[in-house]
Amino acid sequence: MPGETTPSPRTVRARAASQFESAVTALTELDGGEVGTVYRLDFADRASVVAKVGDTPLTVEARMLRSLAAESDLPVPTVYDATDDLLFMAYVEGDGAFTPAVERDIADHLAALHDVTAERSGFPFDTLSGPYRLPNPWTDSWVEFFREHRLLDAAEAAATEGTLPPADAERVDALAADLEAILREPDAPALVHGDVWRENVVVRDGAVRAFLDPAVYYGHPEVELAYVALFDSFGDAFFDRYADRRGIEDGFFETRATAYGVFPLLEHVRFFGRDYLPRLRESLTQLGY
């Protein structure tokens, strides 16, 4: 539910009516999303709109969506307006049917996204992953970027907040020190969505209609695939098609996917609490730490 500082449904209706100069006929809370609250707004004389409210600065989410729309062909909702506490964007209808054909379509879209590259890892501005800031300073080495601005940044925050015990933080530090021997530098850092799982992909009639809730930056495209693999979001149809389009290098599934997965597991430890510690520890053990 919205926090005390976020707009109430009544306020959302009023601001929507003013923004779109049309009477709101219905406001319906939608499922999905761990951060903020999302509503569908129906109007008397225009297409439906999504309103998202939350305590995180939604202007950053709007900026990420607009960046994806400008820099790639990835389908994302059109952003109409955004303030820090309220985001208006186009409503995209879905049917939730993740067939093998849909998984192949997702792979096609992500392969095309990963063809958009930069000279260095990072992004023009700091972004967000859920409620957490993602620092994105331009960095020549991808391994250094992932170590300093993803793995260690998340581990330090979790330790400071008290969700990551000192012994586990030491294991993450040991992994971070060895990343040069585990990860690979990309040919060129690729634009990644950063948070691809089923709840963030709208599908309908056997095809992708929109990708939601990005956490964008330029990095190794394997980090995107590792996130998909970590939560079993899609199956063989996805990975086989992606491999056909861009290739997946040897050793990814055996080692690197697990190493990349430590970062989102740290985020889950921060957000959901210590229930995710066993899975984090299992990954670290699998990597030899």
Predicted pLDDT at 35? 73
Predicted pLDDT at 32? 61
Bridge partner list, 75: none
Predicted pLDDT at 55? 87
Could you tell me which of 160, 18, 16 has the C-alpha nearest to residue 86? 16
Copy the structure tokens of residue 188: 């060129």
User: Under 8 Å CB-to-CB from 108, ≥6 apart: which residues?
Assistant: 241, 245
CA atoms within 13 A on the CB side of 10: 0
CA 261 to chain centre: 13
Residue pair 241/207 in contact by the 8 Å Cβ criterion = no
Which amino acid is residue 224, in one-letter code?
E
How far apart, in Å, are the Cα atoms of 128 and each of 136, 183, 230? 10, 24, 20
Out of 153, 168, 195, 213, which one is annotated catalytic? 195
Predicted pLDDT at 2? 39
Predicted pLDDT at 33? 59
With residue 65 as reference, give the H or E element that holds it: helix 58-71
d(C-alpha 148, C-alpha 90), whole Å: 36
- Catalytic residue at 195? yes
Copy the structure tokens of residue 20: 């779109």
Residue pair 62/87 in contact by the 8 Å Cβ criterion = yes
User: Under 8 Å CB-to-CB from 244, ≥6 apart: which residues?
Assistant: none
Integer-rounded Cα radius of gyration of the chain: 19
d(C-alpha 37, C-alpha 180), whole Å: 40
Q: How many helices (H) and strands (E) does the chain have?
A: 11, 11
CA atoms within 13 A on the CB side of 178: 14
Phi, psi of 101 (to 5 degrees): -65, -40
Per-residue pLDDT of the chain (289 residues; tens, 9 = 90+): 334 478 999 999 999 999 999 999 999 999 865 678 999 999 999 999 999 999 899 999 999 999 999 999 999 999 999 999 999 999 999 999 999 999 999 999 999 999 999 999 999 999 999 899 999 999 999 999 999 999 999 999 999 999 999 999 999 999 999 999 999 999 999 999 999 999 999 999 999 999 999 999 999 999 999 999 999 999 999 999 999 999 999 999 999 999 999 999 999 999 999 899 999 999 999 999 9
- pTM, two decimals, is 0.95
